[in-house]
Amino acid sequence: MPKTTSILMGGVGGQGIVLASKILAHVIQAHDFDLKISEIHGMAQRGGSVLTYIRFGEVVHSPLIEPGQADYVMASEKLEAWRWLPYLHSGGTMVCSTQEIKPVPVIMGLQKYPHNIEKAMQTMVAKGTLGKLYAINALAVARECGQPKAANVALIGVLAHCLQFPLASFEEALEAIVPARFLAANKKAFLAGYQYFTDI
Amino acid sequence: MKKLLSGNEAIARGAYEAGVHFAVAYPGTPSTEILEDVATYDEIDAQWSSNEKVALEVGIGAALAGSRVLVAMKHVGVNVATDPLMTFSYIGVNGGLVLVAADDPGMHSSQNEQDSRQYARFAKIPMLEPADSQEAKDFVQSALEISEEFDTPVMLKTSTRISHAQSLVSVRERADIAIRPYEKDMSKHVMMPAYARPRHVAVEERLEFLREYAEQTTLNRIEWRQKKIGVICAGICYQQVREALPDASVLKLGMCYPLPTKLLAEFAANVDQLYVVEELDPFMEEQIKVMGIEVQGKGLFPLTGEISPNLIAKKILGQPLTQSLAADMDSEAPVPARPPVLCPGCPHRSVFYTLHKQKMVVSGDIGCYTLGALQPLDAMDTCICMGASISTGLGFEKGNPALKGKVAAVIGDSTFFHSGMTGLADVVYNQGTTLTMVLDNRITAMTGHQHHPGTGSTLKGNPTVALDIGAICRALGVKRVREVDPYDLAALDAVIREEAAAPEPSVIIARRACALLDKSIKEVYVIDTERCISCGLCMKLGCPAIVKDNKTMSIDVSLCVGCGVCVQVCRSNAIVKAGDQDA
Ligand SMILES: Cc1ncc(C[n+]2csc(CCOP(=O)(O)OP(=O)(O)O)c2C)c(N)n1
């Protein structure tokens, strides 16, 4: 059976995961794959974790991604990267931002924000359980491009480089989806992400 | 090219294509977007009603008058609409009517996870269950055809994973369906005993015809693959079964009530091991067993939550499809959860802060403000269903005289119009003294900002009358009705104290627009570290913009919206406008 690719996107309510998944969906659709996207956005507006599953291939049945199944996790926030890491299969790829947004239990001083997430992920890369780790400060990258709200688009840039779709498809998707007045900055952020790692 | 649509968008598209003339709903996750999307089609008249019972009744009227109608609600909305539904079943339709019920197994955003399929059996009406967006769209058309052919309302059941999952859909043009002429028909439309008795007989006969239909319809199909394992399933479970057991034969039911007896028997006779995979209740399993067919279901699968491909593989094949990476993560500490919180500047916050401070017993309700139950606000004793706050509050006072004067019912503006008014009438009529607080943020915030009878705008965006909550309360006989700005802590504190003590019913309307919709720019605040004595009083507000690091407090200016409530809590005058800080 032809393989289905599973991408899990995690972030914090208000970070704009929806735009990122729209861009990716546009590219996938343009290549004639079957596609399912599942969003859990119940109370996300109020600062909770948000989660999107994207699955594509010849025929996609389940819209769910389960622990140990994802080929890629794209996380817009570091703690969310750690939260969704178990969803990768052994050898899977993590694309994440090193930005930190403290959840309420941490803000209230009841729990600690884990301080060694990146190091722990690097250790897993060394052991081979985590295939690849691409961590960037997506917010800083997007700010430099003049649009802090494009942080997720910079991450999509990194992810795009990992996936086997041509660059031009992503540029078309950006043009189709991003409003004209934000397009230049978003393209810049996308390319900054795309070119960030030379070893992909 | 196919369109990528969520199940809800697909249902809206289905309504458009099937020539639906009128659509009506009350919002509720995961069903809300259906009407929001229907409203974008000029050809369909669409409206929010004040609650689900009203929505269905308006829909019944529209269908009897001759229109094709779609009514939508979340699973618990059907509870509210059950009274008209049960008798509507006797009456039948003129133009077709489809009632969408969106279930939420796993309770992503609900107070319970009841199984709506029981309603189809209860009301003796057919139910269709789509397995993806294409079917969600197509089944609207099928439902309306069945509705008109068999003279019955038809339910369409989705779940969160159907409503909120997007998949590819081929679309068509709109069918040109005329509004049918209306004819008065007392014996069919006026349900009093003499007329209702023969209608009940007609309902039972209709169900027999529908059983026959279920045997033949292409909505139900057998997919023969290997015959060692055969699975009966519907809706999202079909996708999970296909994912987990690609080689198994499947009886896919697009119509989950009534069930096709002969088709089930044929399928059962041709497979070695027969399973039924269904979320929540053993709805199909019990009926199949009554047919004398041996089948495994809830002996393997839970009665609660969602069913995933991994679970199916584990229970039927003996091992899951995938292994979590968690075992390979050397995590030194648990991953802190990211629970939802009241937004920075949310006008509900100060109300719960004050109720907590005054040690009130708080009879709660459903909406964003249910988050007032969480730490540190910790100001809610009960939350049951929409509208229960006022009536349950009265019950507290009736059930234990010691609680008199200590009970506050807290209800949102949308919820007040949904089902709060009848409770308030009861308080007045039965001489309660309960304090009712209407948290009027001018919108239905929880489900994503829908209009309601108090906002002055319709679903289609047209201006309309904005009902006046204060005037309604006074008309219901409440003499003490007061308004307060919840950003003014001192005023709020005083008015709650006075009204809770009043020996008669009282209503406080705490009015301030939802912080997410208030576009006025206010100056943000910061904490002057020289004046801050780290007492932690501001932390009692539970505002996500106030951050505690070790012992010191600071304000995240990217989150602060300048509501100024924390300024009033601080006793050291340490919270100052960002512009005034001398540094
Ligand atoms: C019977 C029923 N219908 C719909 C819902 C979904 N729902 C939960 S709260 C809510 C409305 C909340 O609006 P409001 O009372 O104005 O409070 P807010 O969220 O604005 O604070 C809705 C529609 C439900 N839980 N039960």
User: Quick one: three-class SS letters along B123-159?
Assistant: HCCCEECCCCHHHHHHHHHHHHHHHHHHCCCEEEEEE
Q: Say if residues A200 and A95 touch (Cβ distance below 8 Å).
A: no
Q: Does A109 touch chain B (CB under 8 A)?
A: yes
| pLDDT confidence of residue A95 | 98
Residue A184 has pLDDT above 70, yes or no: yes
B136 contacts B190 by C-beta, under 8 angstroms: no
Task: Mutation target for B interface from A12, A23, A66: give the one with most B CBs within 10 A.
Answer: A66
pLDDT the model gives residue A164:
87
Nearest protein Cα to ligand 1, atom 9: B367
How far is the alpha carbon of A159 from chain B, nearest alpha carbon, in Å? 20
Q: Which of B444, B452, B467, B511 to mutate to test the pocket of ligand 1 (most atoms within 8 A of CB)?
A: B444
Q: Do A38 and B332 touch (CB under 8 A)?
A: no
Q: How far does the CA of residue B134 sit from the closest CA of chain A (Å)?
A: 12
Indicate the helix (H) or strand (E) that contains B421: helix B421-429
User: For residue B333, which residues of chain A lie inside 8 Å, CB to CB?
Assistant: 111-112, 114
**Cβ distance of A25 and B339 shorter than 8 Å:** no
pTM comes to 0.97
Decide if B473 contacts B507 (C-beta within 8 A): yes
Tell me what pLDDT residue B420 has: 98
Q: Which residues of A touch B102 (CB under 8 A)?
A: none
Partner-chain residue, chosen from A47, A62, A79, that has the shortest CB–CB distance to B240 = A62
pLDDT of residue B559: 87
N-to-C CA span, chain B: 60
Within the 52-91 window of chain A, which residues sit less than 8 Å (CB to CB) from chain B? Answer: 60-64, 66-69, 79-80, 82-83, 85-90
Nearest to B230 by CA among B259, B267, B196, B258: B267
Q: Are B517 and B443 in contact (CB under 8 A)?
A: yes
> Distance (Å, rounded) from C-alpha A79 to C-alpha A101?
8
The CA-atom distances, in angstroms, between A118 and each of A103, A132, A158, A161, A195 are: 18, 12, 17, 21, 21
| Ligand 1 centroid, distance to B36 Cα (angstroms) | 16
Report chain A residues whose CB lies below 8 A from the CB of B30: 42
Mark yes or no for CB contact A106/B336 under 8 Å. Answer: yes
Which of B166, B322, B325 should we substitute to test contact with A (largest number of A Cβ atoms within 10 Å)?
B325
Instruction: Return the exposure string of B453-486: e unless at least 16 CB atoms fall within 10 Å of the residue's CB, then b.
Output: bbbeeebeeeeeeebebbebbeebebeebeebeb
Question: How would you label B139-158 residue by residue, b for 16+ Cβ within 10 Å and e otherwise?
Answer: bbbbbbebbbebbbbbbbbb
Asked whether the beta carbons of B35 and B60 are under 8 A apart, the reply is no
Among A154-158, A187-191, B396-400, B553-557, the minimum mean pLDDT is found in B553-557
The alpha carbon of residue A110 is apart from the nearest alpha carbon of chain B, in Å, by 9
Ligand 1 atom with the smallest distance to the CA of B452 is 16
Question: What is the model's pLDDT at position B340?
Answer: 85
- Identify the closest residue of chain B to A119 by CA–CA distance: B330
Residue nearest to atom 6 of ligand 1 (CA): B28
Q: What are A35-92's pLDDT values in tens digits? A: 999 987 655 456 778 899 999 999 999 999 999 999 999 999 999 999 999 999 999 9
Residue of A nearest to B542 (CA): A108
A104 with B339: Cβ contact below 8 A: yes
pLDDT by residue, tens only, chain B of 583 residues: 899 999 999 999 999 999 999 999 999 999 999 999 999 999 999 999 999 999 999 999 999 999 999 999 999 999 999 999 999 999 999 999 999 999 999 999 999 999 999 999 999 999 999 999 999 999 999 999 999 999 999 999 999 999 999 999 999 999 999 999 999 999 999 999 999 999 999 999 999 999 999 999 999 999 999 999 999 999 999 999 999 999 999 999 999 999 999 999 999 999 999 999 999 999 999 999 999 999 999 999 999 999 999 999 999 999 999 999 988 887 666 889 888 889 999 999 999 999 999 999 999 999 999 999 998 999 999 999 999 999 999 999 999 999 999 999 999 999 999 999 999 999 999 999 999 999 999 999 999 999 999 999 999 999 999 999 999 999 999 999 999 999 999 999 999 999 999 999 999 999 999 999 998 878 999 999 999 999 999 999 999 999 988 888 999 988 899 999 999 999 999 999 998 875 4
Whether residue A1 has pLDDT greater than 50: no
Could you tell me whether strands B97-103 and B154-159 are parallel, antiparallel, or unpaired per DSSP bridges? Answer: parallel
Q: Which residue of B has its CA nearest to A55?
A: B167
Mind listing the pLDDT tens digit for each residue in A84-123?
A: 999 999 999 999 999 998 888 888 888 889 988 999 999 9
Reading phi first (left if > 0) and then psi (alpha if -120 to 50, else beta), residue B291 is in: alpha
**What pLDDT score does B233 carry?**
98
Subunit contact B325:A68, Cβ cutoff 8 A: yes
A contacts of B248 (beta carbons < 8 Å):
none
Q: How far is A198 from chain B (nearest CA, A)?
A: 27
State the sign of the Cα–Cα–Cα–Cα dihedral B140, B142, B144, B150: negative
Topology of A4-196 in CATH? Pyruvate-ferredoxin Oxidoreductase; domain 3 (3.40.920)
- Looking only at the bridges linking them, the beta strands covering B435-440 and B506-511 are parallel
Strand residue runs (E) in A101-180: 132-136
Q: Average pLDDT of chain A?
A: 92
CA proximity to B340, closest of B348, B351, B332, B330: B348
Tell me which H or E stretch contains B490. Answer: helix B489-501
Q: Where are the beta strands (DSSP E) in B234-378?
A: 248-253, 255-257, 273-276, 361-363
Chain A interface mutation, best of B8, B166, B307, B549, highest count of A Cβ atoms under 10 Å: B166
B165 CA distance to ligand 1 middle (Å): 22
Find, among B363, B362, B372, the residue nearest to B340 by Cα.
B372
Closest to A51 in 3D by CA, of A97, A1, A15: A15
Domains of chain B are 2-216 (3.40.50.970), 220-325 (3.40.50.920), 348-511 (3.40.50.970), 525-577 (3.30.70.20)
Which residues lie closer than 8 Å to B50 by C-beta, 6 or more apart? B26, B417, B418, B452, B453
Q: For chain A, what are the domain ranges?
A: 4-196
The rounded distance, in Å, linking the Cα atoms of A78 and B175 is: 50
The residue among A46, A78, A129 with the most chain B CBs within 10 A of its CB, best to mutate, is A46
The packing angle between helices A167-177 and A17-30, to 10°, is: 120
Which residue in A has a C-alpha nearest to residue B245's C-alpha?
A61
Q: Give the span between the Cα atoms of B211 and B206, in whole angstroms.
A: 9
Phi-psi region of B522 (alpha: psi -120 to 50; beta: other; left: phi over 0): beta
CA separation for the pair B253, B259 (Å, rounded):
8
* C-alpha of residue B509 to centroid of ligand 1, in Å: 17
Q: Which atom number of ligand 1 is nearest to the Cα of residue B370?
A: 21
First-to-last CA distance in chain A?
27
The pick from B54, B104, B446 for probing ligand 1's pocket by mutation, whose C-beta has the most ligand atoms within 8 angstroms, reads B446
C-alpha to C-alpha distance for B581 and B73, rounded to whole angstroms: 50
Residues B397 and A190: their CA atoms lie apart, in Å, by 61
Could you give the CA distance from residue A143 to residue B261 in angstroms, rounded to a whole number?
Answer: 63
